[in-house]
Amino acid sequence: MTETRWLTPEQLRAWKKFVAVVEILPGVLDSQLQRDAEVTHFEYFTMAMLSEAPARTLRMTSLASATNSTLPRLSHVVSRLEKRGYVDRAPCPDDRRATNATLTEAGWQKVVATAPGHVETVRDNVIDPLSAADIADLDRIMGELLRTLDPENRFRANDE
């Protein structure tokens, strides 16, 4: 094994802050959504992805990509959302192995009702504390990181 290349002091400082944010942020998003809408951030995000899709429908595999999750995880979450009436599952006519997930009207209403509070949380905690220049830097840096973290570019972030 070769010599370990430790981090420089500047790198270490930045990394520690970054990790802290990565640890804290999900909790902030989750608890607002849990408190105000009784959904997890991941559930909300799943429904939001469906809400933007044509016919509010996506195949499970595509939805897994869009939410950047694994199929088993998604399958469980969709089961829960289905039980709550927010999503429907139907076998895909084109490929009988596949399953289509569709956002129900109730699910759509849920997203519409939940979005403002969620956006507010994002604003308060992330967007508003930053300047326009910061936002541009953040966009650039996260884009660079995604190139490594998500080489297949499964996540939709770069679609636009």
Partner DNA sequence: CGGGCTTAGTTGTAGTGTCAACCAAGGCGG
Partner DNA sequence: CCGCCTTGGTTGACACTACAACTAAGCCCG
- Burial grade of 67 (CB within 10 A; 0-12, 13-18, 19 or more): buried
Give strand pairing partners of 102: 57, 88
**Residue 26 near residue 67, CB atoms below 8 Å:** no
Q: Which residues contact 24 (CB under 8 A, 6 or more apart)?
A: none
Among 28, 53, 60, 98, binds its own copies (CB under 8 A): 28
71 belongs to the binding site for its own copies (CB under 8 A)? no
Among 52, 95, 105, 120, binds its own copies (CB under 8 A): 120
Q: Taking CB within 5 to 8 Å according to partner kind, which of DNA, its own copies, none is near residue 75?
A: DNA
| Residues that bind DNA in the complex, under the rule CB under 7 A | 27, 30-31, 34, 40, 42, 59-61, 64, 69-80, 89, 92, 95-99
Nearest approach in angstroms of CB 116 to its own copies is 4
